[in-house]
Structure 1
Amino acid sequence: MSADPVVIDGGDRSCVRLLLELRGHMAGMAPGTVVHLIASDPAAPID
C-alpha cells in the first residue's frame, strides 16, 4: 500500500468523463492505494 495518497484533479470534468479517466488511473494502482479526487464541477456534490 502506498503511504501517500494519489491526488487526481478532476477539474470541471463531467461525471462520465471523470469516471472514465479515474478508471484509467486506477487500473495501474496497487490494491489499497488511497485516491484523493478533487472535483470542481458544480454538479459534483449531487453526483
Structure 2
Amino acid sequence: MKGRASVIDGDTVEIASQRIRFNGIDAPESRQHCDDAKGFDYPCGR
C-alpha cells in the first residue's frame, strides 16, 4: 500500500481510500463522550 495517510481517529487511518484499523489499539472515537471521576460528561475523543 502506498500513499498519503489521513488520520480518521486514534486507531484508524485511511490510505488510498482504504481504511485501516490498528489491531490491539482502542482509542476513543472522534465523537465519543466519557465521564470523569465526578460523573461529568466530556468529549474524550477530541
Q: Shorter-chain TM-score: what band?
A: under 0.3
More strand per residue: 2
Task: Please identify the structure whose Cα radius of gyration is greater.
Answer: 2
The structure, 1 or 2, with the larger RCO (C-alpha pairs under 8 Å, 6+ apart) is 1
Please report the TM-score for the alignment, with normalisation by the length of structure 1: 0.20
Question: How high is the TM-score relative to the length of structure 2?
Answer: 0.20
More helix per residue: 1 or 2?
1
